[in-house]
Amino acid sequence: MSGVGQGGATDEQRQQAADSQQMLAAVLKHLSDGFLFTDPSGQVMLINRALEQMLGRPAATLLGKPLPVDLAPGIGPIIGQALENASEPTQGEIVLADGRTIQANASAMESERGRIVGVMTTLRDVSRRWAAERVKDAVLTAISHEFRTPLASIVGFAALAEKTLDERLVPHISSEDRVHRAVDRLTDHLQRIDESGRQLEQMVNDLLDLADMEAGRLQWHMGDVNVVDAIHVALSAIESQAEEKGLPLCLSLPPDLPVVRGDRVRLAQAVINLLSNAVKFTDQGEVCISAGTLRIGENEAPDVPVPLSPGDYLLVSVHDTGRGIPAESLPHLFEKFFQSQTSLTDKPTGAGLGLAICQEIVEHHGGQIWAKSELQVGSTFSFALPLDAPARPAQPILLRDLRRWLATASPEPPERQAVLVASADADLQRLLDKGLSSEDLILHQASGGEACRRILASETPSLLVLDLLLPGLDALHGLSLPPALLLAVVEAGDDGLRVALGEALPELAGVSLALRSLPSYLAAAWDDEESDNRLLMLDASAPSLGGITETLRAQDFEPVVSRHADDSGPDQVILQAALTLLRPARIQSTARYRNPRRDLCTVVLVEF
């Protein structure tokens, strides 16, 4: 009987094992994420149905060998890293050939004896999430715009009503107590409407500011800024708010603070946001602001939770004795819409955009921002701005155009996009390197036509930034260039600033451009029945333009020759490079205003 009993137990175990295997198979099958199991040599051992669909290949064709590189480019290194660092899962994003973005999480699996038996990788399609984020941002911006008119009404009528009450009614009302109380109450109500309206207005402004900053639409007015001025501006803006709560504001500034390169108004805005938060979350004690310099030497690990490269910095800190921020909230503080809750009874105030704006501002100045905090003791928010910034400031127009172009032209997030900068100009290379590195873009650089050609043979950048003065430009003739092109010519102006002369040519999608055959480019880019082929040419006295005018006439274009931008409503503008030094942005905007067609493009001609 014991034999039977033992046999029964074995059956049960066998049944259990079969059940759990079935369960595992069912889980894998119905998992919406792709699942991949590879052995330590990288051979595929298991693939679930979701991954089959994601890759468009049946499992049978993939099992028992390494995953083909072209099928899921970039997955190899993620799995490799998980093998190397078995204690921690590895995360990364890869892009499939059809453009879908896949988030991969790989973890090494160990046997009971600690031997690594393989790597489990889950793959999730996050393309739609990216797209949804974009839509969400666009909707928020649109709604915010729509809020402005009703808001103007609310704030305006409240102010007007208060004034009428005060000036026209109060002098005439009887001295009866009840009437006086009613009037006082009305005044109070109107003030509340006004105050709430202004709060809402602030949120709308913040939202629009942030959207502009993120899209690179905001114009920065960079100059020499005495940070003491910005701090004083911020302090006076926050004074009444602090006074209402009975909080003293203190200020500690060393003498002779260095001047920093930046946008005075925006830096003050960052300080205002930090001070305003400090006051909002502090009920007793004080709010202090201090500034100073910070030197980080080579091989020195600074005592800050952000990466700061060696160099000299201007440091601004806002310290409060408020309720503090829980440690788990610290990493998220600078995210949009994040609200830290220190207790269940806390109600979030504001839209949660102030710190995200601070971060945008500080990062635009090449700096870093961070927070340290202790619950019930207080918080310190600090930012550091580099003092050894290059003598030539980032050229905003070119970078803004680039960002705008990248944001609109490709559904890919910036870190998936590659940019090839072809220029022999070290300053331009440095400028773009600095300006684009914060965007997490993949940046390729070429300083000559041949190098550019070699890179294009192996890479497919989303954007080619081509300096038309590139030596060896001939090497690009006949090449199929990336689907978009920025004709960017930079010249040093009298004030040492660089001026971007080029504009992105979005119409170029798919058109390969032989650089010297402008007329055929125009014809290709202009294959549009509705267009009446009007073309504004500026400064036609230059010999090259004269020649082109003739060629264009022969091809049924209607070149309008002018020295001014606003003589006609052209479809395209051709500018002589020397002329665009004047004010390219203005010429563009005027021409665009005259011609609401958004696809107006400007071609900049350079003699070469």
**In the complex, which residues of this chain contact another protein (CB under 8 A)?**
145, 148-153, 155-157, 159-160, 163, 201, 205, 208, 212, 218-219, 585-586, 589-590, 593
Q: How far is the CB of 205 from another protein (least distance, A)?
A: 8
Q: How far is the CB of 206 from another protein (least distance, A)?
A: 12
Question: Distance between CA 496 and CA 323 in Å, rounded?
Answer: 49
Within 8 A by CB and 6+ apart from 150, the residues are none
Question: Distance between CA 228 and CA 53 in Å, rounded?
Answer: 60
Q: Which is nearer to another protein, 37 or 157 (CB)?
A: 157
Q: Which is nearer to another protein, 377 or 582 (CB)?
A: 582
Percentages helix, strand, coil for the chain (3-state, rounded to 5) are 45, 20, 35
DSSP 8-state symbol, 21: H
Angle formed at CA 243 by CA 238 and CA 245, multiple of 5 degrees:
105
Q: How far is the CB of 155 from another protein (least distance, A)?
A: 5
Angle formed at CA 561 by CA 558 and CA 566, multiple of 5 degrees:
100
Within 8 A by CB and 6+ apart from 416, the residues are 93, 95, 101
Q: How far is the CB of 218 from another protein (least distance, A)?
A: 8
Report the half-sphere exposure of 279 (CA within 13 A, side-chain side): 23
Q: Which is nearer to another protein, 289 or 397 (CB)?
A: 397
Q: Which is nearer to another protein, 192 or 516 (CB)?
A: 192
Q: Which is nearer to another protein, 57 or 198 (CB)?
A: 198
Q: How far is the CB of 211 from another protein (least distance, A)?
A: 11
Q: How far is the CB of 148 from another protein (least distance, A)?
A: 6
Q: Which is nearer to another protein, 151 or 308 (CB)?
A: 151
Q: Which is nearer to another protein, 150 or 258 (CB)?
A: 150
Q: How far is the CB of 207 from another protein (least distance, A)?
A: 11
Q: Which is nearer to another protein, 393 or 471 (CB)?
A: 393
Q: Which is nearer to another protein, 566 or 607 (CB)?
A: 566
Amino acid at residue number 429: Q
Question: Distance between CA 279 and CA 320 in Å, rounded?
Answer: 8
Q: How far is the CB of 163 from another protein (least distance, A)?
A: 7
Q: How far is the CB of 397 from another protein (least distance, A)?
A: 11
Question: Distance between CA 399 and CA 439 in Å, rounded?
Answer: 11
Q: How far is the CB of 229 from another protein (least distance, A)?
A: 20
Question: Distance between CA 416 and CA 424 in Å, rounded?
Answer: 25
Q: Which is nearer to another protein, 159 or 228 (CB)?
A: 159
- Of 516, 560, 555, 514, the residue nearest 535 (C-alpha): 560
Q: Which is nearer to another protein, 219 or 541 (CB)?
A: 219
Handedness of CA 16, 17, 18, 19 (dihedral sign): positive
Q: Which is nearer to another protein, 9 or 265 (CB)?
A: 265
Question: Distance between CA 125 and CA 418 in Å, rounded?
Answer: 21
Are 545 and 539 in contact by the 8 Å Cβ rule? The answer is yes
Q: Which is nearer to another protein, 159 or 330 (CB)?
A: 159
DSSP 8-state symbol, 553: H
Q: What's the Rg (C-alpha) of the chain?
A: 31
Q: How far is the CB of 150 from another protein (least distance, A)?
A: 8
- The alpha-helical segments, DSSP class H, found in 410-462 are 426-437, 449-458
Q: How far is the CB of 317 from another protein (least distance, A)?
A: 29
Whole-angstrom CA distances from 23 to 28, 143, 561 are: 9, 48, 77
Q: Is 101 in a helix, a strand, or coil? A: strand
Crossing angle of helices 127-164 and 177-215, in 10° steps, is: 150
Q: How far is the CB of 587 from another protein (least distance, A)?
A: 11
Within 8 A by CB and 6+ apart from 205, the residues are none
Handedness of CA 440, 446, 451, 456 (dihedral sign): positive
Q: How far is the CB of 194 from another protein (least distance, A)?
A: 11
Q: What is the three-state SS of 28-39?
A: HHHCCCEEEEEC
Question: Distance between CA 59 and CA 45 in Å, rounded?
Answer: 10
Q: What is the three-state SS of 591-606?
A: HHHHCCCCCCEEEEEC
Q: In what order do the strands lie in the sheet with 311-320?
A: 249-252, 287-296, 311-320, 378-386, 368-374
Q: Which is nearer to another protein, 288 or 591 (CB)?
A: 591
Structure tokens at 238: 């926050």
